[in-house]
Structure 1
Amino acid sequence: MRKLIFMFFTVVLAVGVISAQDDLSGLTGKKAIKKANRAFNTFKLNQTNGGDDLKEARRVIDYVVKQDDTKEDPKTWVLMGDIYNGFSSFNQAQKVLNPDWENIEPNGGMVAFQAYKKALELEAGNKNALDGLSQIIGSISTAGLDAYEAGDYMGAFNSFRSILDIHDLLKENGAASPLDAEEEYDNQLYITGLAAMSAGQNATAKPFIQKLYDKQYDKPAVYDAMYKLTIDDDVDAAEDVLTKGREKYPDDLGLLFSEINHYLKLEKIEILEEKLKFAIEKEPENPSLYSTLGNVYDKLYQTNYKEGKTEEADKYFNLSKKYYEDAIKIKPDYTDAIYSVGALYYNKAAIVTEEMNALASDYSKEGTEKYNMKKAEVESLFSEALPYFKKVEKLDPNDRNTLIALKEIFARNNDFDTSNEFKMRLEKVESGETIEKSYFQ
């Protein structure tokens, strides 16, 4: 008897599974929607079967929304929203149990949003649709954050923007929204604009950031973002944004660095000196700040030297070298700063070489003495530069500019074998090859 009972349940179970996958063609929407409801209710009672009942509910509701007798019924679309939102909550629960869980219907929240929206188009103020919209904000937000962390910035933007659209829809229908608090709404505007910027869609991002900027939203990142969204179209307007941001948040490093980069691009050297010194006070262990200030003094040195202001030029030369070396003290393998010290000497040697060559035709005793003095200075400057270029070559044997400098210095020292070695290495690098081993190791 037990065997017969077991066989009976086995047959019933098998029939149940087969009927769950019935061909729906020929069924009216009203009959099919009952099947969708049954499958969805079964899922809500038991979520341990991998979501099979939910998948069945989805299969049926996708059929129901296309049928003439149900497609204009708001209840149809509310059920569709509930079913697809079920995927969002189911996936989130499974992720807690298994971090490697692969989402089923990853766009469930977005499909649910469109379904609830359709229900409201058919019946304004539909309470179940409005409740559903309020509930899916959390799942869509989670999906957006997951997309952002995965580097899918446009996917994140679409999710975040939908949350703003849901808020607007709730307010149009007189319902409460999770974004009713001004702080929550403003934060949603910000992360939506940020996602678009991260996707490289500045034109899309600007309206969201503009709203926050216009209302003087209390967040320095908004001023930084607005500056970046404006700089390509209007330099003066962008600078005005930056100035306002710096006045409001004088200690914010993000704005400070944007300001430094802004003046670097415009080559406003005198302004940069002050800004960089302030930045160094804020981040004394940041080697790039010292190196950048060294570069500023390097430019001031070159400008003053060309103008014949020798004393000022020497002052800036020494300051440049000091700040480059300060950067190297913080980061001993900082090739940019190491190279820059070598280049400082190398470029000065090149200028003095021009002065030396101008004396080559003066065969007077005084002219010869000046020529020899300049020649000695050139040799000394190249000798000062050489150790820095050697160190860079040890750290990065594929640096093109370093190879050029080494080739020239050894040629000037009449060491043509070594010069030719660096010439060959340079040719390899320029042809796309990679040099595996440093010459000076």
Structure 2
Amino acid sequence: MKDILRSLKSIWKLILLLLLTALAFCYAMFQGGFVSWFLFYAFLPFAVYSILLAVYPLQTFRAARTLSKDQFSAGEILKGEITLERPFPFPLIYIIAEECLPSGLKQTAADQPARKLFILGFRRKAVFTYTVQSMKRGEHHFSRIRIKTGDLLGLFEKEVTMKTDKTILVYPTAFSMGYRHSKPQYEQGASASSQRYIKDTTMASGIREYQPGDRMAWIDWKATAKRDSFMTKEFEQTRTHDAMLIMDQQASDSFEPMITFTASLAKAIIKTGAPLGFILLGTELDTTPVQPGEKQLQTIFRKLARVNPEPSSASFSIWEERMASQGGYRSSNLFIVSVLTMELVRKLEHRASYSDLKLYFIRKKNQLLTQEEEVLLDRLNKRGIAAEAVSEGFFDQALEEVKSL
């Protein structure tokens, strides 16, 4: 409907322009004299140009977008370049080119504008750059570049929007923090699992014959002297501490700080070499299996970049059922929430005896706890579930020591 109205409006303006030209000619014919003909010939170029512009296909322009990179961290600067080209050099007095930024990206006064005025003339190519500072976390879709032009009389204004799809991912900010477990777990007496093991060279559990590749520091010289052959110490094997991050997606004022804390905690755990899993409690249960390494961290960061607030009651029930069917996870379960309710506390209490649980309650900077929230945190701690409130700006203090429950 809008296109039809725009076409009718253009036709009406063209008829009006032709009518004005005819009136100017009739005035010159009947009035005669230098002034009347001068007015007619002075008006004629503007009229002819406006008519030609009315039929000029602005759709012949081709637009290309180049961005500095495809993946960013929150707070980084995006630099974009727009290139406009056309095959036919029609004399355009001006064009206004504009990058239609995604709704999640906002420019500030310090940015180079994403809109530029060109006195194009006969040139076939125009290029301009823009910046976006302090980008917000999320997945941002660039889809349109708009160009606009018009005539000197202001009768005809032409506009065309060109589709050029591009998607960038802005990862959440992650602070550097320390992470460690206070109690190692040893292979002896532990149940079988798929977890990795590493040697604890501080605890010798026996001796064996020397094998190629053993370090000289591991040789037991007393046993070697007794047996007249090289004997090597055997050590306890320490089980790596698997961790499972479980983040609640309920909407709150502290949702973005919670994303930042989760990213920082994930980075700290992966940095220790410990395997890590990730669960999002949203409309559905989104599970990332436990894995070690940087590739796992990138997977978690991609999910954190795209995550949006969602109700989580249904997926929490699914998590409970899975916990019950598996008899609890062997991994330490680290809950990260920005909304603390009695329902959540009761569910955690019910599962406290089946798994190691710890809860981080994330608050915005300078946001105080309510009396109800203080009572709920105290209740969890009394039931053996380590629970603490973490304020934005003090995330590093929350990870000075993560105890094995």
Greater share of residues in helix: 1
Shared fold by TM > 0.5?
no
Q: TM-score, normalised by structure 1?
A: 0.24
Structure with the bigger RCO (C-alpha within 8 Å, sep 6+) is 2
